[in-house]
Chains A and B, each alone.
Chain A
Amino acid sequence: EAQVTQNPRYLITVTGKKLTVTCSQNMNHEYMSWYRQDPGLGLRQIYYSMNVEVTDKGDVPEGYKVSRKEKRNFPLILESPSPNQTSLYFCASSSSGRASNEQFFGPGTRLTVL
């Protein structure tokens, strides 16, 4: 089954403790992206990747890092999480970065930083 998977689905952590949220897709997609969803703000893009080893900042990149060493994986790294990063995070992928391509979303990771 074609899908985007994320792990973990739920995470409670404390300020400053480094964490990684994994994202994997099995559709051989070139383009991958991370979004955060906050009430009343919709979804905002954190980082995106047009292909392996090619990443770039989205609208809200502060406090996050990403890497794209393999085509299928696009982990989101929080080196020193803070409470304002408490949010619902979605990974997405599409066949390419073309503007007309549909993006497929993962199930989401709900992060709470205490």
Chain B
Amino acid sequence: AQSVSQHNHHVILSEAASLELGCNYSYGGTVNLFWYVQYPGQHLQLLLKYFSGDPLVKGIKGFEAEFIKSKFSFNLRKPSVQWSDTAEYFCAVTIYGGSQGNLIFGKGTKLSVKP
């Protein structure tokens, strides 16, 4: 079965540090990739998505992610985090064929940014 792995459960950074959150998926066919963010007590919001073209995608709030097909990876990056980035981050994938549109989520990575 298809799955999404997020390598870190909890990441703690100081403000201005650089961030990279790992995400790998297991599926050999065509995929769309997403990063969602969930701020404390809130619903999920889309940070960015990739479905074709330039493998480096830019999202909201200074986030970006790079799709590396050979590594089945879609890591999220931000050069300088802020306290307001404290949230839980979810990587997700949809696949072509089967139950299209159904998001398969990773288990999430909690990011805590110390002021």
Interface residue ranges, A against B (CB under 8 Å): 31, 33, 35, 40-45, 48, 50, 56, 58, 90, 92, 94, 96-103, 105-108
Contact = CB atoms under 8 A, between A and B. Distances in A.
A58 B102 contact: yes
B70 interface: no
14 contacts: A33-B101, A33-B103, A35-B103, A40-B9, A42-B105, A42-B108, A43-B90, A48-B102, A94-B101, A96-B101, A99-B51, A102-B34, A102-B46, A103-B103
B107 A56 contact: no
Interface in B4-48: 9, 31-32, 34, 36, 42-46
B90 A99 contact: no
Given A42-B90, A42-B107, A107-B43, A56 B101 contact: no
Contacts of B34: 102
Given A42-B90, A105-B43, A106-B43, A98 B105 contact: no
Contact of A100 (B36, B94, B99): B94
Contact of B43 (A45, A50, A108): A108
A43 B92 CA distance: 10
Given A41-B107, A97-B101, 14 more contacts: A33-B102, A33-B103, A35-B103, A44-B105, A48-B102, A97-B100, A99-B94, A99-B95, A99-B100, A100-B51, A100-B94, A102-B49, A105-B45, A108-B43
A45 B32 CA distance: 17
A92 to B, nearest CB: 8
Nearest to B52: A100
Contact of A45 (B9, B42, B95, B103): B103
